[in-house]
Amino acid sequence: MTLDKVLDKMTASGAMVPLLAERLKGLDAERPFSVHRELKALLYLGALLMAAGLAATVKKYFDALGPWTVLGGLVALFAASVVYCFERGGSFDRGEVRPPALLFDYVLYLGCVAWGLAAAYAETRFHIFGGAWKTHLLISSALFAFLAYRFDNRLVLSLGLCSLAAWFGLELQGLHSWFSESYRLLGLAFGTLAALAAYVTVRTEVKSHFQDVYGNFAGHFVLASLLSGTWTRDPYFYFACLLAACGLTAAHAVRARKFFYMVYAVFYGYLGLCSVVLRNARETGFILLYFIVSSLGVGAGLFYLARRFKEEA
């Protein structure tokens, strides 16, 4: 019920004089609203675009600029960002720390992207680690984790987890490999490690608000790995494991009051069910009918759950 309707009912019942009700309506209509989230989203998008532009520039001009110019520029950008953050940032705190400026988190993020590009370029150009070329990803991941905890930066922590996933061998260009057993096991191992990190960060109360960053990685990697198993010749073991994992994810969503975990559970569970139900289906009409009915049911279920989460928040 809106404030206007509440005031109208109070006025009609005599609990409030009309003049005061009109005054309150005017104040409500003129109240300021925050655009903080919108500004953060635009800054995040800007940081991503700058990072993409930086990577494209290095790729296009690295021969003309020369290796030392490219490396020097990227390392200088990283160093300038870190120096800025140490000068402007406060001391380390185990809890959540508000950034001293709106641009603070994105300056550090851009500097870390520059370091990642510099490390990848140096390894590609000079083969520093030889056959163990992925070592630079592990080093970058450790550096990003340190900076993320030092400056309380979720973006940099996500970047560190992406680097660690790449060190594991889980890369975007290898999505087709998710259907191989070895790749699936790597995904489960990385997801389990992320879930363990989420548990430890809460138990130790060191940056416990990082739990959802780890939880997002854990949820996607574990559920996607189990989902890929439902497309194998013997899908039922993986389907049972997927349902169990989705149940645990849904239970965590209810306990933590985080609706996006519920979305993960429903989404991956639905895809797994589709894989099992339709694996031997040949009739186009049945397949279309199944998708229409089931997708409407899932959508209605999510809408209902979203309202429940909002009401109980």
Q: Are 67 and 125 in contact (CB under 8 A)?
A: yes
Q: Is the pLDDT of residue 56 over 70?
A: yes
Residues 143 and 192 in one domain: no
Structural domain ending residue among the three candidates 140, 167, 194: 167
Residues 310 and 176 in one domain: yes
| pLDDT score, position 33 | 46
| pLDDT score, position 246 | 97
Rounded-to-integer distance, Cα 253 and Cα 262, Å: 5
Q: Is the pLDDT of residue 27 over 80?
A: no
Rounded-to-integer distance, Cα 198 and Cα 290, Å: 37
| pLDDT score, position 37 | 56
Q: Provide the domain limits for residue 55.
A: 34-167
Nearest partner of 198 among 273, 279, 261, 140, judged by Cα: 261
Residue scoring higher pLDDT (250 or 131)? 250
The dihedral formed by the CA atoms of 100, 207, 264 and 160, expressed in degrees to the nearest 10: 80
Cβ atoms within 10 Å, residue 272: 26
Could you read off the pLDDT of 166-190 as tens digits, one per residue? 999 887 655 566 678 888 999 999 9
For the chain, the three-class secondary structure string (H helix, E strand, C coil) is CCHHHHHHHHHHHCCCCHHHHHHHHHHHHHCCCCCHHHHHHHHHHHHHHHHHHHHHHHHHHHHHHCHHHHHHHHHHHHHHHHHHHHHHCCCCCCCCCCCCCCCHHHHHHHHHHHHHHHHHHHHHHHCCCHHHCCHHHHHHHHHHHHHHHHHCCHHHHHHHHHHHHHHHCCCHHHHHHHHCHHHHHHHHHHHHHHHHHHHHHHHCCCCHHHHHHHHHHHHHHHHHHHHHHCCCCCCHHHHHHHHHHHHHHHHHHHHHCCHHHHHHHHHHHHHHHHHHHHCCCCCHHHHHHHHHHHHHHHHHHHHHHHHHHHHHC
What is the arithmetic mean of pLDDT over 200-219?
Answer: 95
Residues 45 and 137 in one domain: yes
* Burial (Cβ within 10 Å: 0-12, 13-18, ≥19) of residue 106: buried
Could you read off the pLDDT of 215-233 as tens digits, one per residue? 999 999 999 999 999 988 8
Structural domain ending residue among the three candidates 133, 167, 201: 167
Residues 15 and 140 in one domain: no
Residues 123 and 215 in one domain: no
| pLDDT score, position 137 | 94
Residues 47 and 116 in one domain: yes
Residues 264 and 154 in one domain: no
| pLDDT score, position 51 | 67
Residue type, 296: L
Residues 41 and 162 in one domain: yes
Residues 198 and 162 in one domain: no
Q: Is the pLDDT of residue 144 over 90?
A: yes
| pLDDT score, position 45 | 66
Residues 161 and 175 in one domain: no
Residues 46 and 94 in one domain: yes
- Average pLDDT over all residues of the chain: 85
Residues 119 and 224 in one domain: no
Q: Is the pLDDT of residue 34 over 90?
A: no
In this prediction, what percent of the chain has a pLDDT beyond 70?
80
Distance of CA 284 to the CA centre of its chain: 36
Q: Are 61 and 121 in contact (CB under 8 A)?
A: no
Residue scoring higher pLDDT (286 or 310)? 286
As for how many domains the chain has, the answer is 3
Q: Are 225 and 178 in contact (CB under 8 A)?
A: yes
In this prediction, what percent of the chain has a pLDDT beyond 90?
55
Rounded-to-integer distance, Cα 223 and Cα 301, Å: 20
Task: Give the confidence band of 115 by pLDDT, cuts at 50, 70, 90.
Answer: very high
Maximum alpha-carbon separation in the chain: 83
| pLDDT score, position 298 | 95
Task: Give the confidence band of 136 by pLDDT, cuts at 50, 70, 90.
Answer: very high
Structural domain ending residue among the three candidates 146, 167, 188: 167
Task: Give the confidence band of 79 by pLDDT, cuts at 50, 70, 90.
Answer: very high
